């Protein structure tokens, strides 16, 4: 439960996510050409408009026959069937009807047929071409086939509606469209899809010490890495990002920048200026811009000062300027919030379990989120904390592929313990080789 401590609104990570998502929901939709929908989220359920397959079709290259005519076939007593027609994929109904004609049902004939071609209803099985002996005419096409074994009815035939019946829910609202979902929509002739509009997120780096990359570094200054980290992270999540230049530690200037960013976006993310120092003005500027606090402290380390505010339909999330804390805030809080605003039904982080490879002895009153290397061995995830995971160490980003959770308390965690961990966004999206 949210508590008040020294005028602070203190929450756990899970409570913070709930606060960020409460009262916010994706409400803008757009209809897009199907090829532009990759990575977008469906804004409505999709029901099958017709059966799949839509007609009775061959599942193999071979010959369509009537199973009862070859029931006595065997080695040395082959059944001979005359090939009366050829049907390929895409053949019209008229061609199928014309090529088979209206012959008596006891005629011992067959039809040369190819994968995906419509199977005339008079035939009830398809024999693979590899198991028949063709007798070809002068044009090289089979006139007769010899069959040395019986075949059951229904073999290698996909009946209409065998895969999916009409009116079946196959893709639900909130599903992210990937290759598999694209296959379903395209198979049903959908040229467009109604998807949720991308959330718009503005990024405001805060701090007198920050400089834009590309300029000579002045004394006692640093380049704005966090702003670009947040920008790249959000781009990976598939949202519209507005990246602003670093904002100085000045309440009036910061207030105006927050007001402008709020007019342009659904979410404003600041980095830096959120702690309790004399020159940390994000909370003050948020209040001056009309934002109400949702929480001003999260029970996590690093990133305890992380704060959030709301004004109408706009969220403001203040992340620490510390690189490790900033990135933890992105994975733990920004990611599920943005995925919620994208309309994703599975918006929460997917936590895994792994065995700790090294002890973590440092106690902490809050859960610790430490950068780690996760690897799979014999079906078990192994979690190795980075040995030099200092909170301001930017180089650690290049090595880590996971964030592991060390429970709050006075003892840390021992080697061999099973702990929870989260694959980092760039790894979970396909960068990790198992």
Same domain, 332 and 255: yes
Q: How far apart are CA 412 and CA 397, in angstroms?
A: 23
Q: Is 204 helix (H, G, I), strand (E, B) or coil?
A: strand
Same domain, 218 and 358: no
Q: What is the pLDDT of residue 426?
A: 59
Same domain, 279 and 208: yes
The answer to the question of residue 121 being in a domain is yes
Same domain, 67 and 213: no
CATH number for the domain harbouring residue 387: 2.40.340.10
**Cβ(17)–Cβ(291) under 8 Å?**
no
Q: What is the pLDDT of residue 381?
A: 97
The answer to the question of residue 11 being in a domain is yes
Examine the fold and report which residue of 342, 372, 398 is the final residue of a domain before the chain moves on. Answer: 342
Report the candidate in 2, 11, 3 with the shortest Cα–Cα distance to residue 305: 11
Structure tokens at 247: 């904002």
Q: What's the burial of 110, exposed, middle or buried (CB within 10 Å: 0-12/13-18/19+)?
A: buried
- In which residue ranges of the chain is pLDDT below 70? 1-7, 99-107, 388-397, 426-434
Same domain, 214 and 268: yes
Q: What is the pLDDT of residue 220?
A: 87
Structure tokens at 189: 């002739």
Range of the domain at 135: 57-158
Report the candidate in 108, 331, 92 with the shortest Cα–Cα distance to residue 230: 331
> How many domains are contained in the chain?
4
The answer to the question of residue 106 being in a domain is yes
The pairs formed by 383-389 with CB atoms below 8 angstroms and a separation of 24 or more are 383/354, 383/355, 383/356, 383/357, 383/419, 383/421, 384/357, 384/358, 385/356, 385/357, 385/358, 385/360, 389/324
Same domain, 286 and 408: no
The answer to the question of residue 298 being in a domain is yes
Q: How far apart are CA 388 and CA 112, in angstroms?
A: 69
* Cα within 13 Å of Cα(112), Cβ side: 16
- Strand stretches in 125-168, DSSP E: 125-128, 132-136, 142-147, 157-158
CATH number for the domain harbouring residue 218: 3.40.980.10
Q: How far apart are CA 251 and CA 256, in angstroms?
A: 9
Q: What is the pLDDT of residue 434?
A: 31
For residue range 33-86, what is the model confidence (pLDDT) as tens digits? 999 999 999 999 999 999 999 999 999 999 999 999 999 999 999 999 999 999
The answer to the question of residue 186 being in a domain is yes
Examine the fold and report which residue of 293, 313, 342 is the final residue of a domain before the chain moves on. Answer: 342
Same domain, 134 and 248: no
Inter-CA distances, 109 with 84, 142, 150, 344, 380, Å: 7, 12, 15, 55, 58
Q: What is the pLDDT of residue 398?
A: 72
Q: What's the burial of 73, exposed, middle or buried (CB within 10 Å: 0-12/13-18/19+)?
A: middle
The answer to the question of residue 347 being in a domain is no
Sheet holding 79-87, edge to edge: 125-128, 62-65, 109-113, 79-87, 142-147, 132-136
Same domain, 360 and 338: no
Same domain, 291 and 246: yes
Inter-CA distances, 282 with 13, 192, 205, 244, 247, Å: 20, 43, 11, 15, 11
Same domain, 222 and 336: yes
Same domain, 329 and 207: yes
The answer to the question of residue 72 being in a domain is yes
The answer to the question of residue 163 being in a domain is no
Same domain, 105 and 234: no
């Amino acid at each position: 439960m949210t508590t008040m401590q020294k005028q602070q609104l203190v929450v756990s990570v899970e409570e913070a996510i709930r606060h960020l998502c409460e009262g916010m929901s994706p409400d803008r939709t757009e209809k897009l050409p199907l090829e532009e929908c990759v990575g977008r989220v469906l804004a409505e359920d999709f029901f099958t408009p017709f059966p799949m397959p839509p007609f009775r079709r061959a599942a193999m290259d071979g010959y369509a026959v009537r199973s009862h005519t070859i029931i006595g076939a065997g080695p040395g007593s082959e059944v001979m069937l005359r090939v009366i027609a050829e049907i390929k994929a895409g053949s019209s109904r008229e061609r199928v009807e014309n090529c088979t004609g209206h012959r008596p049902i006891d005629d011992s004939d067959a039809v040369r047929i190819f994968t995906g071609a419509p199977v005339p209803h008079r035939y009830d099985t398809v024999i693979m071409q590899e198991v028949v002996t063709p007798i070809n005419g002068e044009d090289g096409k089979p006139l007769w086939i010899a069959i040395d074994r019986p075949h059951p009815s229904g073999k290698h035939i996909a009946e209409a509606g065998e895969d999916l019946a009409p009116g079946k829910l196959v893709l639900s609202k909130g599903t992210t469209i990937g290759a598999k979902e694209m296959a379903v929509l395209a198979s049903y002739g959908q040229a467009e899809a109604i998807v949720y509009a991308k959330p718009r997120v503005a990024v405001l780096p805060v701090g007198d010490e920050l400089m834009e990359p590309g300029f000579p570094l002045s004394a006692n200054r640093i380049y704005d890495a966090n702003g670009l980290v947040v920008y790249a992270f959000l781009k990976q999540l598939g949202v519209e990002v507005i990246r602003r230049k670093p904002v100085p530690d000045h309440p009036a200037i910061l207030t105006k920048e927050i007001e402008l960013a709020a007019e342009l976006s659904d979410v404003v993310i600041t980095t830096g200026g959120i702690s309790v120092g004399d020159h940390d003005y994000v909370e003050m500027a948020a209040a001056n811009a009309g934002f109400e606090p949702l929480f001003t402290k999260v029970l996590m380390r690093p990133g305890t000062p992380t704060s959030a505010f709301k004004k109408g339909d706009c969220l403001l999330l203040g992340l620490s300027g510390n690189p490790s804390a900033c990135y933890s805030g992105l994975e733990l809080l920004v990611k599920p919030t943005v995925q919620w605003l994208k309309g994703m039904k599975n918006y929460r982080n997917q936590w895994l379990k792994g065995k700790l490879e090294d002890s973590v002895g440092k106690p902490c009153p809050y859960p610790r989120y430490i950068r780690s290397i996760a690897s799979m061995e014999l079906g078990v995830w192994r979690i190795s904390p980075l040995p030099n995971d200092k909170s301001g160490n930017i180089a650690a980003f290049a090595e880590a592929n996971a964030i592991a959770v060390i429970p709050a308390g006075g003892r840390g965690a021992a080697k061999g313990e099973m702990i929870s961990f989260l694959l980092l966004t760039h790894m979970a999206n396909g960068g990790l080789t198992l």
